[in-house]
Amino acid sequence: MNYPDSVQFLYALGNEIKTAKLGLQRITQVLEALGRPQDRLRFVHVAGTNGKGSTCAMIASAVRAAGRRTGLFTSPHLAEPTERIQIDGRPISAGRFANAFERVHAAVEQLLAEGAIDLHTTYFETVTAMALVVFAEEEVDMVVLEVGLGGRLDATNIVTPELCVITPIDFDHETFLGRSLEAIAGEKAGILKAGVPAVFARQRSEAAAVLELRAAQLSISVARTEAWSIEDLQLDARGSRFLLSGELDLRIVCPLAGEHQVENAATASVALTRLGISEPEIIAGIAQTRWPGRLELASVHPEIILDGAHNPAGARALGAYIARFYAGRRVRLIYGAMRDKAIDEIGGILFPHAQQVIVTAPHQARALAPESIRQVVEHPDLRTAANLRDALAMVRDATAEDVIFITGSLFLVAEAREMLVV
């Protein structure tokens, strides 16, 4: 099967969130049939609501800086599914992706024929198995593995890692994970395992209580970023510099924009100390991190910034960024989202930071129509555009004082990157 066919089959399995079937039975059976590739690998397992992708990227970058062959598994992707499976900072090739799909799909079909599993693995389960197969074949030294949804019943929880990391927990995917922070934190805490040390980012009190209780039940060693101080913090629109002081002093230069990335960089740094990565390697690795589509500068004239603020916590982070660095500028916001998002809450947080809002729709079947967004969120200068190209045409008159943010769905951000960056 070639790459386009493999991608088409994966998409035919259905949206990876809407068709999620939480549980470890299918992924366990499939990996058994594939020879348990996870047993030949070392892992850092990362859960959380926001910041887990950025934190994974920083950890992987520093592990590479230490000279170790590194696998990185993240989701979702921006442009191509190959981005989800990276080796030493590069997505695997289309051919390698297709080959891995064939191997996993063949194993699944055999198990189905034998009646060993009830259904074909989901999109996410299939790609998780593919990643583990590729990483084992490549004999990577360390895999940085991002949880897809929740943690306890997520397909990635099939592994026994060397370190678990939990980034800040907030509301998202409540239908699957629960309607309270305590319930959501309980699902995230499901990645914790006896004998495996953990790193906890600063948490809201409700989430922290759940994580601490689970860690105590398992009698595991926990390193907390709140035990480290952040001093001499210098923030600008393109990143941050600070002294992270605790068991040692680390002069961190974080190239990822936004005040929220300070906590992510601190969490990654503490995790890296637990992996035995040296101070110079931590500093160099974080400074070299790239994480597209998150407060990414896509154009200078006019200034256009892309950010996948797809949930309330992401909207708060983007709002804080705008307020800190663009308070004196005319902010023009292009926003599009999927139908399953809390549009009224996100819009209420984000839209007041803009002088003009243009609502549009990503080129996706699940996209929410611009007219529907307009019905639930108010703004004094709110306009609609059928698609991103039309929305960009509406800001062609941008002056040097204007800054344009394209945000909401990562699908919209991916379209913008294709038009403006790639």
CATH classification of the domain holding 394:
3.90.190.20
Q: Are residues 278 and 131 in the same domain?
A: yes
State residue 421's pLDDT score.
83
How many whole angstroms separate alpha carbon 172 and alpha carbon 184? 8
What pTM was estimated for this model as a whole?
A: 0.92
Q: Are residues 147 and 188 in the same domain?
A: yes
Is the bond into 302 cis (omega within 30 degrees of 0)?
A: yes
Asked if 183 contacts 190 with a C-beta cutoff of 8 angstroms, the reply is no
Q: Are residues 345 and 269 in the same domain?
A: no
pLDDT tens track, the chain, 422 positions: 899 999 999 999 976 555 556 789 999 999 999 999 999 999 999 999 989 999 999 999 999 999 999 999 999 899 899 999 999 999 999 999 999 999 999 999 999 999 999 899 999 999 999 999 999 999 999 999 999 989 999 999 999 999 999 999 988 665 667 679 999 999 999 999 999 999 999 999 999 999 999 999 999 999 999 999 999 999 999 999 999 999 999 999 999 999 999 999 999 999 999 999 999 999 999 999 999 999 999 999 999 999 998 888 889 999 999 999 999 999 999 999 988 778 999 999 999 999 999 999 999 888 999 999 999 999 999 999 999 999 999 999 999 999 999 999 999 999 999 999 85
* Beta strands 239-245 and 249-254, pairing class: antiparallel
Buried b (16+ CB within 10 A) or exposed e, 281-320: bbbbbbbebebbbbbbebeeebbbbbbbbbbbbbbbbbbe
Q: Which two tokens stand for residue 264?
A: 């992510």
State residue 222's pLDDT score.
98
Handedness of CA 52, 58, 60, 63 (dihedral sign): negative
Q: What is the CATH number of the domain that holds 101?
A: 3.40.1190.10
Q: Which of 257, 287, 317 delimits the end of a domain?
A: 287
Specify the DSSP class assigned to residue 17: T
- At 64, which amino acid appears? R
State residue 1's pLDDT score.
85
Q: Are residues 164 and 280 in the same domain?
A: yes
Asked if 191 contacts 146 with a C-beta cutoff of 8 angstroms, the reply is no
- Comparing CA positions, the residue from 405, 365, 403, 361 lying closest to residue 385 is 361
The residue whose two tokens read 């629960």 is 178
Asked if 114 contacts 30 with a C-beta cutoff of 8 angstroms, the reply is no
State residue 21's pLDDT score.
65
For the chain, what is the domain count?
A: 2
Q: Are residues 307 and 257 in the same domain?
A: no
Q: Are residues 270 and 301 in the same domain?
A: no
State residue 226's pLDDT score.
96
Q: Are residues 314 and 345 in the same domain?
A: yes
Query: Which residues have CB under 8 Å from 97's CB, separation 6+?
Result: 3, 6, 81, 82, 85, 130
Q: Are residues 92 and 234 in the same domain?
A: yes
Angle between the N-to-C axes of helices 123-138 and 25-33, in degrees from 0 to 180, rounded to the nearest 10: 30
- Comparing CA positions, the residue from 325, 354, 311 lying closest to residue 258 is 325
Q: Are residues 273 and 341 in the same domain?
A: no
Query: Which residues have CB under 8 Å from 312's CB, separation 6+?
Result: 170, 171, 172, 342, 345, 346, 349
Please give the torsion angle defined by the CA atoms of residues 178, 183, 184 and 186, in that order, rounded to the nearest 10 degrees: -140
Q: Which of 287, 310, 333 delimits the end of a domain?
A: 287
Q: Which of 223, 256, 287 delimits the end of a domain?
A: 287
State residue 17's pLDDT score.
57
Q: Which two tokens stand for residue 191?
A: 């990645």
Q: Are residues 241 and 267 in the same domain?
A: yes
271 φ/ψ angles, rounded to the nearest 5 degrees: -60, -40
For residue 329, what are the domain limits? 296-420
- Comparing CA positions, the residue from 317, 302, 373 lying closest to residue 341 is 373
Q: Are residues 303 and 242 in the same domain?
A: no
Q: Are residues 212 and 343 in the same domain?
A: no
State residue 16's pLDDT score.
56
